[in-house]
A and B are shown apart, each in its own frame.
Chain A
Amino acid sequence: MTAAPNPYAYLQPFAVWENAFTPAELDAIVAHGDGLKLDKAGVIYDPAQATDDSSHRVTRTAWMARAPATEWLYDRIERLARALNHQIYRFDLAGFSEAFQYTVYHASEGGHFGWHVDQIPNGAHRKLSFSLQLSAPDDYEGCDLELQCGPQVRAAPRTRGALIAFPSYAIHRVTPIRSGIRRALVIWTAGPPFR
């Protein structure tokens, strides 16, 4: 018998699933990601706006598509996303709207991502966002995933293997990286618009 779920857990800035993957599995995700072609990421505020705005975001990203080599990863993330959604959010989700995004922040190029929400115009209705920590906390300085839903900014855990979930409407950022390299896997689930 487990404790009754907290009906207000969805009001927390984020939810965390620790040890979502073994170290060997995390190594495999990083090896696969590092083998992809990494591009400088853009930002979407407004379809009319230029997408290259380095004052807002400096990140290297690659799409990690669903493929035989990543099928296990998609299956696992789907199970984790379903469980977190069922325990905490209870959103109507239809699935992954986009391929997973492998993201790399390099101190040598001042990696960061300014405040933003994941809901975007003219795209999928992203509803629940996830970030999987692929680097160990002492691999880098700075580069915290931060969320704000009150007077104080709250930092997500840096633990390797932690899967962090938050509603896609929540405002968040990645602070500038001061040393080292941080890798993360970003996942969006989508569905019919919030109602």
Chain B
Amino acid sequence: MVAPDPFAHVQPFQVWENAFTPEELDAIEAYGDRLDLNRGTVLSDGPEITYDALRITRTAIMAPMPEIAWLYQRIERVVRVLNGQSYRFDLLGFAEPFQYMVYRGEEGGHFNWHVDNGRLPAARKLSATLQLTDGTQYEGCDLEFFGTHQVEKAPRVRGTLAIFPSYVLHRVTPIRSGTRKALVIWSTGPNFR
């Protein structure tokens, strides 16, 4: 057992590898592909807008239905462990459902620089992305963090969960070919203090 790093929160992101088996990842993907995919929205000062320069993503809400209760439970355990080891943020749960995200090469999928905390009833505090497609299946579409003096890329390995404080600036670079699928999770709680 390694002592937790008291300054882990200074790192832009942390990684949990092999959070799911390949069969479990297949099941998440199959479930997501049956959902109705809409164009992703962005949080702004005014009404929500869809704006190609900011974002081209297909998204679907993956609500906590009984069939995927196991997925919510697993993600909750992983977030609890990572939060306990590194961040120790006050979290109350998932105020928003998980989001299934699809970036398609043929439509130039991307998501420009942004932070996840926005004008929401419950503050997003810890964000996580579960990589559902292996990085060999598409080109571009890197999840990048700008949380220190340089930009760092998240691993592209299927099954990797990247977790980061929701205030960290990040983007998804344009996809050049193929399709990338990911599950996005926000843990919420009282505002940072």
Contact indicator per residue, chain A 81-119, by CB within 8 Å of chain B (1) or not (0): 000000000111000000000000000000000111101
B74 is an interface residue with CB less than 8 A from chain A? no
Contact indicator per residue, chain B 99-130, by CB within 8 Å of chain A (1) or not (0): 00000000000001111011100000000000
- Stretch from B33-41, B56-64, B142-150, B153-161 at the A interface: B142-150
A176 is an interface residue with CB less than 8 A from chain B? no
Q: Is the interface of A mostly helix, strand, loop or mixed?
A: loop
Q: CB distance A195 to B192 under 8 Å?
A: yes
CB distance from B163 to the nearest CB of A (A): 15
Q: CB distance A195 to B115 under 8 Å?
A: no
Q: How many residues of B contact A (CB 8 A)?
A: 28
Contacts of B149 in A (CB 8 A): 43, 45, 56, 114-116
Q: CB distance A194 to B113 under 8 Å?
A: no
B54 is an interface residue with CB less than 8 A from chain A? yes
Residue of B nearest to A148 (CB): B169
Contacts of B117 in A (CB 8 A): 11
* Cross-interface CB contact of B118 among A11, A121, A193, cutoff 8 Å: A11
Residue of A nearest to B111 (CB): A151
B residues with a Cβ closer than 8 A to A are 6-7, 9-10, 53-54, 88-90, 112-115, 117-119, 146-150, 165, 167-169, 191-193
Q: CB distance B193 to A151 under 8 Å?
A: no
Contact indicator per residue, chain A 114-129, by CB within 8 Å of chain B (1) or not (0): 1111011110000000
A residues with a Cβ closer than 8 A to B are 8, 10-11, 43, 45, 56, 90-92, 114-117, 119-122, 148-151, 167, 169-171, 193-195
* Cross-interface CB contact of B88 among A117, A121, A193, cutoff 8 Å: A193
* Cross-interface CB contact of B114 among A10, A151, A169, cutoff 8 Å: A151
Q: CB distance B90 to A171 under 8 Å?
A: no
Contacts of A8 in B (CB 8 A): 119
A-B contact pairs, 28 of them (CB 8 A): A11-B119, A45-B148, A45-B149, A56-B149, A90-B193, A91-B192, A116-B149, A117-B147, A117-B148, A119-B9, A120-B10, A121-B7, A121-B10, A148-B113, A149-B115, A150-B114, A150-B115, A151-B53, A167-B167, A169-B165, A169-B168, A170-B167, A171-B146, A194-B9, A194-B192, A195-B88, A195-B192, A195-B193
CB distance from A53 to the nearest CB of B (A): 9
